Structure 1
Amino acid sequence: MPMNPHNDDLPMNIESLRARYLQGNLTPAQLVERIAARTAGDDPHRVWIRALTRDEMMRYAEALAQRDPATLPLYGVPFAIKDNIDLAGVPTTAGCPAYAYTPARSAPVVERLIAAGAIPVGKTNLDQFATGLSGQRSPYGACRNALDPEYASGGSSSGSAVAVALGLAAFSLGTDTAGSGRVPAAFHGLVGLKPTKGVLSTQGVVPACRSLDCVSIFAHSANDAQRVFECARGVTQGDPYARAWQPSGRERATLGGVRFGVPRATQLNFYGDASYAAAFDVALAKLRAAGAELVEIDFEPFLATARLLYEGPFVAERLAAIRPFFEAQPEALHAVTREILGGAVRWSAADAFAALDRLASLRMESERVWPQIDALVTPTSPTTSTIAELEADPIGVNARFGYYTNFVNLLDLSALAVPAGECAAGPHAGKPFGITFVARSHDDAYLLDLARAWLGERERPVSPPMQDGSQATVQASSQNETGNAEA
């Protein structure tokens, strides 16, 4: 269940909030008063770059005052937004104060959620320019893990995960290029949906790697993640990377008979973390007990693809996303971010084409496993770490977190991180452990079904029909090439 450290009875999941609205036991204005109280004062976890004020949130609540809660699937549901995603009238910083701009219009994905009744509560902290999996690379302060402030929060969508884990929002938006929406979910015992590329529009999102970026969803349950996914998806006119969702039609009520691909034992890597290795063994045993079939596969094509992301010229796409700013104000960047982006200049166009050829071959090799399996299952992260360990080796420790995540977007796959209990012993005893289900593109609903079965949730939620067309095509506002109103 969602943690509630606030000594009140306000639930922080969509189903419970919805029930209270329908029963007349809660109004959006009352919810805003509660959220304002929760976000007031100090921010010891460094969740926010900009929390909305009570009056700002109240304007969204007042817009719902005459609406029937039964007609809006996210009526009065509070959500947080990673601060590389535009919210109209609130600065977008991407974790870099000198880069900040104030958009006149929200990102289409945010517009859809507001149209569905959701109330934004703030812009969350992140690894600068979404470059990192640690949550530490922010001039606004290293984001602190909600469950243990001495531990890494995960990144780059660090504040988005912490906001949900602390009960400051019922769900949140992050982004996920290399694992940024999955690793923080695992470190906080949350569900983290990394949907099919392009199904959630990235217009109005400061790009990391434009061709790979995805908007991701953090929630406490698969049902909540699915409801948000249903409301957020849709083609945006003018978005060159947009794709219509084409659901595979695969449905599962149980884990029985599902064929899960598992890396060979020699290809599993926990960097010496016995607690995580044991927790993964427990998760596999649970799958077997549920009737799933575990199929050992050759994971090398996936690992080789993962290495391409940061060990080859693909990192140059991160530089391309903000190159004019980087060249004009390199001193404005966090030292580690500057080192990573600065290293991209060594790669040539010839290197890039060679990497694309290599990726095409690896994609072909990786696709050979799919006739044998229905989904992959891996640890979400091979280990965790303390903040002190990250500060001592910020690039090396950070890189470990992406061992099982970096390949997903390069291979155009969908993925869903789910909680898998806690480490029972070892150096990280008591810390959350998570696994990730990975499947082909457009298998998002199938993965949510697997997660429901894994978590013991009831059947898929049925969202009420929208009366104002939030699922319709959204016309993108006039923006520059980075998706910003001004940058």
Structure 2
Amino acid sequence: MPNPLSASPAPSSLSISALRQAYAQGYSPLDLVDMLYARLPGADPAAWLHLQPKEQARARAAELAAQDPAALPLYGIPFAVKDNIDVAGLPTTAACPAFAYTPERSATVVQRLIDAGAILIGKTNLDQFATGLVGTRSPYGAPRSVFNADYISGGSSSGSGVVVAAGLVSFALGTDTAGSGRVPAAFNNIVGAKPTRGYLPCSGVVPACRSLDCVSVFALNAADTWSVMQIAGGDDGLDVLAATPRPRGLPARPRIGVPRPAQREFFGDTLAAAEYDKALQRLATLGELVEFDFAPLAATAALLYEGPWLAERMEACAELFARHPEALDPAVRSIISKGVDYSAAAAFKGRTRLAALRKQIAPMWQEIDLFALPTAPTHYRLSEIEADPLRLNSRLGTYTNFANLLDLAAIAVPSSLRADGLPFGITLFAQAWSDAALATLADRLQRLAALPCGATGQAQDNPPLDAQWPTQPGNIRIAVVGAHLSGMPLNRELAERAASFVRACHTAPHYRLYALPGTVPPKPGLIRDTQQGAAIALEVWEMSAAAFGDFVSRIPAPLGIGTLTLDDGEQVKGFLCEHSALAGATDITHYGGWRAYIAGQSQT
């Protein structure tokens, strides 16, 4: 029964920021649990596989009520977990009853979220062994799109996408090998973040294709996916494929790649094609659209289900396949069975082919900073998938299957509602460790779309996001304002020291910029002026302490390294100039930055 001591109104939505505000005003985790469990009887019965008993959820809420909310970043935030991820005491089935087991410990990502104050509501349905993009390959039923029950929810993380969009949890964990963390987001009007491979530990996760698997995050907005990733991410010492972040940023106005018109495939879905055109119009307000050749990405995508990675898919269920093949969904069995056809030689051949494609794709990043694609080319009815399960599923991977083979970061963002009422979404892709920058851009794009949260009808209510990676241990950040900027003559000195671009931003409004005479290549001088200063454009880069020391040792007078204050209050090391060098220098503060000054000089 509801908590009689609470007089605070319910939160405006289940976003993390809305719940935090509600808790600050007296709403309690017990109120939340009672509200959510009252909603559950009306939920899609195929979405959940194992619900946490209400009394256990209330006990967890009561435990949290006795703690300091400020000490727990996910205090009282409800979440769900795809049922190929271990939760201690609850069965892990991977949507295959014959495979089921009950783990004694939770997956690292789950335990970290619980330790941060989150409340587990239950485990969700999926395409069996995370093999599929449709959400229909489960003996427990097929979750439906929350917008039209005739249509699929998308998979393999079908249940996780549905329960977030239906307003039953704030976020849910999924997995993403071929697009399973993105397609359900598009089909249910929510955000799906597929992090850089190796950031969210896969220890305690049933493998689909182990070398490519990612834990993914579904939420109502990009800010919440980023918050969850920051808490759940990082090497746990157990995942042998864990990777250390090397933060990479994006320019303030990035070059956004889009496929050439002739390469845009929607399989006859004119509504989807029209919505993609509308999405591009919004993207054009955030950056420069640049057409690129999609063919190498399509060739890479084909490797996932037409190459030796199918043999790796056999690994998770090899024993079950050998002894009880009838326990597998017919479509899943058909796909996985092809794995036995690949030899070790074929595996090496596949790796060589992938290396060739990566080399072909690499120059693309000289022309664009990220690219934006439809998350899915179309949206199918359940009846259509039942009639043609393999071919139509393959079509849904047109714009997703290549991502993990190429080690990209990606985030699926709601874009619009079609004329038939179905949601349409796009996905932003960039190089590994661009996750923070992508989340920030996704937040801006979601605000332009101005859609409600999932299918709840509730307005987006989170503050604007400026996601930032924390400085990695042993690294130092440095702000550059002149010849070391991207594309400038000395930027190679950063590249030679394996520096990572973090972000483009401005100083606090307390600096002046001068063009120094007689410098080769031309360089500016930055000085602090708290009385008549201005905000100066710059870039922040990050490098190891050893590389930083070598870099600083080569800086010629009159330049030096001091501490700069950025426009958001962060303090980083950066270039400053001796005042004595300003004799004969030109004050160029009014340009707002060195790049604008150079552009102005070239026009005169």
In the TM superposition, residue 29 of structure 1 has moved relative to its aligned partner by 1.8
Q: Which residue of 2 aligns with 1:444?
A: 435
Matches within 5 A, 1:31-430: 31-39=32-40, 41=41, 43-250=43-250, 252=252, 257-288=253-284, 290-424=285-419, 429-430=420-421
In the TM superposition, residue 9 of structure 1 has moved relative to its aligned partner by 4.1
Aligned-pair Cα RMSD in Å: 1.7
Letter in 2 for 1:132: G
In the TM superposition, residue 45 of structure 1 has moved relative to its aligned partner by 4.5
In the TM superposition, residue 295 of structure 1 has moved relative to its aligned partner by 0.7
Kept in 2: contact 1:201–1:233 (CA 8 A): yes
Kept in 1: contact 2:440–2:466 (CA 8 A): no
CA distance in 1, matches of 2:467, 2:178: 31
Kept in 1: contact 2:439–2:467 (CA 8 A): no
TM-score calculated relative to the size of structure 1: 0.89
CA distance in 2, matches of 1:462, 1:187: 25
TM-score calculated relative to the size of structure 2: 0.72
Residues 257-313 of structure 1, C-alpha deviations (whole Å, 9 max, x = no match): 32101111121111111111111111111222x152111111111110000000112
Distance 1:297 1:249, change over 3 A: closer
Q: Which residue of 2 aligns with 1:472?
A: none
Letter in 1 for 2:464: E
Q: Which residue of 2 aligns with 1:459?
A: 464
Unaligned runs of 5+ in 2: 1-8, 448-461, 471-604
Letter in 2 for 1:219: A
Residues 135-174 of structure 1, C-alpha deviations (whole Å, 9 max, x = no match): 0000001111111111010000000000001111011000
CA distance in 2, matches of 1:47, 1:238: 30
What is the total number of aligned residue pairs between the two structures? 446
Distance 1:294 1:461, change over 3 A: closer
Q: Secondary structure at the match of 1:237?
A: coil
**Seq. identity, %:** 52
Kept in 1: contact 2:440–2:467 (CA 8 A): no
Letter in 2 for 1:258: P
Letter in 2 for 1:167: G
Q: Which residue of 1 aligns with 2:25?
A: 23
Kept in 2: contact 1:45–1:144 (CA 8 A): no
CA distance in 1, matches of 2:206, 2:342: 23
CA distance in 1, matches of 2:158, 2:222: 20
Distance 1:91 1:152, change over 3 A: same
Residues 163-219 of structure 1, C-alpha deviations (whole Å, 9 max, x = no match): 001111011000000000000000011110000001000000000000000000001
Kept in 2: contact 1:193–1:217 (CA 8 A): yes
Kept in 2: contact 1:151–1:385 (CA 8 A): yes
Residues 310-363 of structure 1, C-alpha deviations (whole Å, 9 max, x = no match): 011211111122211211211111111111111221122211111110000001
Q: Which residue of 1 aligns with 2:501?
A: none
Matches within 5 A, 1:461-476: none
Kept in 2: contact 1:375–1:439 (CA 8 A): yes
If you compute each CA radius of gyration, which structure gives the higher value, 1 or 2?
2
Considering Cα pairs closer than 8 Å and 6+ residues apart, tell me whether 1 or 2 has the greater RCO.
1
Kept in 2: contact 1:82–1:124 (CA 8 A): yes
Q: Which residue of 2 aligns with 1:471?
A: none
In the TM superposition, residue 461 of structure 1 has moved relative to its aligned partner by 6.7
Distance 1:462 1:378, change over 3 A: closer
Q: Secondary structure at the match of 1:381?
A: coil
Kept in 2: contact 1:381–1:402 (CA 8 A): yes
Letter in 1 for 2:359: M
Residues 459-485 of structure 1, C-alpha deviations (whole Å, 9 max, x = no match): 32789x9xxxxxxxxxxxxxxxxxxxx
Distance 1:223 1:318, change over 3 A: same
CA distance in 1, matches of 2:286, 2:250: 18
**Higher share in strand:** 2
Q: Which residue of 2 aligns with 1:469?
A: none
